[in-house]
Amino acid sequence: MSSQHKQTKPHEKHPHFSHLPLSTSGPQDCALIGTALLNTPYFNKGAGFTPEERETFKLTGLLPQNVQSLEHQVKRAYQQYSTRADDLAKNTFMTSLAEQNEVLYFRLIQDHLKEMFSIIYTPTEGDAIQNFSRLFRRPDGCFLNINDIDRVHDDLAQWGSPQDIDYIVVTDGEEILGIGDQGVGGILISVAKLVLTTLCAGIHPNRTLPVVLDCGTDNEELLNDDLYLGLKHPRIRGEKYDKFVDTFVQSARKLYPRAYIHFEDFGLPNARRILDRYRPSTPCFNDDVQGTGCVTLAAIMAGLHVSGVKLSEMRMVVFGAGTAGTGIADQVRDAIAADSGKSKEEAAKPIWCVDKPGLLLQSQGDKLTHAQIPFARPDSELPSNTPTKHITATLLSVIELVKPQR
């Protein structure tokens, strides 16, 4: 770490990453001193400040005398983590650590990733999100609310200059990790997803921005909880919702033109619709639609390679035709089309989707979502001598009908 009050020799970039335009190595400029420095998790090094740094940044008297390495600090932090009584308590400990010392936080996870993955993300993060308003201590991320649309641009602008943000994860909290509508608590899924982008993709945590779009909630338990921190009214939908989302997207693009927008855990009526609206003009991604789809496609391709079956020969049943299920179906359909030269309509024929009403059929009409329509089967495909409801009602009956390839 260097100070603006002290000249340091320039450091060479890391040989493995020097070709990257935003790569950094060596000391970072820091204008903070004293307790302000120790209270800033990005710069705080805890007991790791050298004697020279303690003099330069006026930390003498604010820290114990023994200077300890990052490895020693990780050992101490892991011992503290291990004493926590349950997974939620461990999750809360990690949140507090991130708010104190960011480098130590990431190093601790990196050293114990296999053990801690389920603590910092699913399933424990789901418990933390459900208890967000009860565990709340310090805000993290950007909170935008639908009743203050005119303030969205100014609120977003507080997070830096145009070149400061590379990646934005945004949610409206409607469909979180399979536990449903969590309102403003959805901010924690944006935070947690960005932790993974740092650990697994090397995106600098200080160049990311977690966002929640608070539109209210239809979760009665939250609405009746006097500690709930979000807007306490039912979810606002329709034209006002669309204007809110559009104001966020346009503001984010104007303020942070380099930033990629990652839509996370939006509800079924909105996830695909929003992605389709902005994908042609905005660098954006929906994890539930595209992320789940591409990972599943990779697994299918590997399985087909081992079994010697061509992609175009496969018959597939998708059980659960929500945001993720239709995203998987989309990816497989597009892969079949690319592999065989077929149209997307033809490529969709080997894919059968099942949702709450059973097999998706064209006769279901308005009950189908926009994303489900391409995969709805003509009723004429069903055997005429058996009642439709019997054929399509259960997963087993659909499998017996379709005979998907193993």
Question: What are the pLDDT digits (tens) for 308-366?
Answer: 988 988 999 999 998 889 999 999 999 999 999 999 999 999 999 999 888 999 999 98
Say whether the peptide bond before residue 123 is cis (omega within 30 degrees of 0).
yes
Element (H, E) at 214: strand 208-214
Which residue out of 81, 121, 241, 278 is catalytically annotated?
Answer: 121
What is the average pLDDT score of the chain?
91
CA distance 249 to 282: 9
Is the confidence at residue 10, as pLDDT, over 60?
no
| pLDDT for the residue numbered 162 | 94
- Residues at the binding site are 264-265, 288
Active site residue 278: no
CA nearest 106: which of 114, 118, 115, 94?
A: 94
**Confidence at residue 1, expressed as pLDDT on a 0 to 100 scale:** 58
Binding residue numbers for a divalent metal cation:
264-265, 288
pTM greater than 0.75 (yes/no): yes
Residue 193 catalytic? yes
- 52: its two tokens: 């020279």
Name the token pair of 238: 């329709």
Closest CA to 376 of 399, 395, 392, 396: 392
Answer whether 4's CB lies under 8 Å from 28's CB: no
| Residue 11 pLDDT | 54
- The stretch 88-101 carries a mean pLDDT of 97
Contact assessment for residue 45 and residue 103, using Cβ atoms and an 8 Å cutoff: yes
**Among 45, 90, 167, 193, the one annotated catalytic:** 193
Residue 4 and residue 66: Cα distance in Å, rounded?
Answer: 26
Q: pLDDT tens, 14-64?
A: 677 677 666 767 788 899 999 999 999 999 999 999 999 999 999 999 999
Q: Which domains does the chain possess?
A: 2-68 (no CATH), 121-282 (3.40.50.10380), 291-402 (3.40.50.720)
The contacts of residue 131 (CB under 8 Å, 6+ apart) are: 88, 185
DSSP 8-state secondary structure symbol assigned to residue 33: -
